[in-house]
Amino acid sequence: MIDLSKEVRVDVGAIEKSLAALWREESLHPEHAVTRAALWNVVAHTCSAERHKFASETLSAASSSVPQRTIVVRATPGGEPELSSWISANCHVSGEKQVCSEEINIVASGSQVDRLPPLVDALLIPDMPVAMWWVGDLPNENERYVEQLLDPADRMIVDSVFFDRAADLDLVRRVGERTTTAPGDLNWIRFEDWRMAAASVFDPPDMRSRLGDIRRVRIAAVTESGFFGEWIEAVYFASWLSVQLGLHVEEDGSVGEDIAFELQRRSGGIAGSIAGVEITFADGATATISRDAERGVLTTTVNGIVTMPDAITRTFGKRPQDLIIRLLGQPDADRLLPKVLPVAIRMAKRVA
């Protein structure tokens, strides 16, 4: 039996033919039960060997839960023209069978980068949803290249913790509006427990009426270098709450209501994560959300009473593959993020 996980270098023009030969050779060994599976086409776009390796390992781990044809691309516009590719399979044991998903790796540099959009498009399995994961920061130029790659995609996946400017959020919004691609942000999913915790504060009937009494919201973000992406979770939280409350956020990020939003810097912890939230009401009372350091779960404190709501005490997987699995596991695109993005672009001007 051949080792399906072994990388086999192939000619770019013969990738599909080489994959067919790979599975044909495997079928000659019926004593080893192997099932070829795919529910998604997942394309990861990278710009360095380090991120290429990261994307390959992440999607290999994710394929055990979401079988997929994985296409990992490394594009380096500078340098001598080069275009090379290799294939392999990501295999996982399921019951008594070994389930395998195909992985295609492509490296392009120089003028050969322009060949990537049509090449990737040709390698997609027909009639199967397509997710395009842009690993790292979005390009500062050549927006047309991004749109060409995203043209066949049903989901655009980014991780805004890598964004170095507010314009990157705006690019995600524009791509979502110009194409049929639904935007998805791993960073948006990463702090889902904070949103659930904030919602739980107002679950009791006596607290729902206090939504209109909110006067100040302080959100602390763990920032070590001042890099823009380290503020995104805090910006998202403020923007999400503004949308939920129906507030109008001005172009400069200010809120034309009686509520003050404050984004604060805090050291210690995981850079880019929210460190704490404090909500102050008209009568001076506060509700806070913080993470219990020992148990690693979020707690809410309202009127001096500390609780750990059932909805948020369970552990949320926050490894990259966990976030990818959760995003691809959603049958429909997230309808809330597109509503929050325009507000986040304005809120981001507070820290830009």
**DSSP string of 312-323, one letter each residue:** HHSPPP-SHHHH
Q: Which of 237, 200, 188 is nearest to 217 (CA)?
A: 237
Per the CB < 8 A criterion, the answer to whether 148 and 116 are in contact is no
* Residue 180 amino acid letter: T
User: pLDDT digits over 153-203, tens only?
Assistant: 999 999 999 999 888 999 888 888 877 788 899 999 999 999 999 999 998
- Rounded to whole angstroms, the Cα distance separating 290 from 228 reads 23
User: Bridge partners of 133?
Assistant: 44, 157
- Cα 81 to the chain's mean position, in Å? 31
Which residue do the tokens 């590719």 mark?
85
Count how many Cα atoms sit within 13 Å of the Cα of residue 252 in the half-sphere of its side chain.
2
* Residue 291 amino acid letter: R
The pLDDT assigned to 288 comes to 96
| 63-89: average pLDDT | 92
The pLDDT assigned to 237 comes to 97
Token duo for residue 49? 């060997």
For the chain, give the percent of residues with pLDDT over 90: 58
Q: Where are the domains of the chain?
A: 8-153, 190-316+335-350
User: pLDDT digits over 288-338, tens only?
Assistant: 999 887 777 889 999 888 888 765 545 567 899 999 999 998 877 788 999
Q: Are strands 274-281 and 286-291 parallel, antiparallel or unpaired?
A: antiparallel
The pLDDT assigned to 296 comes to 76
Which residue do the tokens 């994985």 mark?
70
- Rounded to whole angstroms, the Cα distance separating 59 from 54 reads 9
- Rounded to whole angstroms, the Cα distance separating 79 from 111 reads 9
User: Is pLDDT above 90 for 222?
Assistant: yes
Q: Is residue 245 packed enough to be buried (19+ CB in 10 Å), middle (13-18) or exposed (0-12)?
A: middle
Per the CB < 8 A criterion, the answer to whether 117 and 30 are in contact is no
- Rounded to whole angstroms, the Cα distance separating 175 from 167 reads 12
**252-284 as b/e, with b when 16 or more CB fall inside 10 Å?**
ebebeeebebebeeeeebeebbbbbbbbbbeee
- Rounded to whole angstroms, the Cα distance separating 74 from 44 reads 8
- Residue 281's alpha-carbon distances to 204, 211, 235, 261, in angstroms, are 16, 9, 21, 13
Count how many Cα atoms sit within 13 Å of the Cα of residue 7 in the half-sphere of its side chain.
10
User: Is pLDDT above 50 for 339?
Assistant: yes
In the three-class reduction of DSSP (H, G, I as helix; E, B as strand; rest coil), residue 8 is classed as: strand
The pLDDT assigned to 32 comes to 60
Instruction: Identify the helix (H) or strand (E) that includes residue 106.
Output: strand 97-109
The pLDDT assigned to 1 comes to 42
| 12-36: average pLDDT | 77
Q: What is the DSSP letter of 230?
A: G
Of 106 and 334, the structure prediction assigns the larger pLDDT to: 106
Q: Phi, psi at residue 317, to the nearest 5°? A: -65, 125
The pLDDT assigned to 302 comes to 93
- Rounded to whole angstroms, the Cα distance separating 320 from 159 reads 10
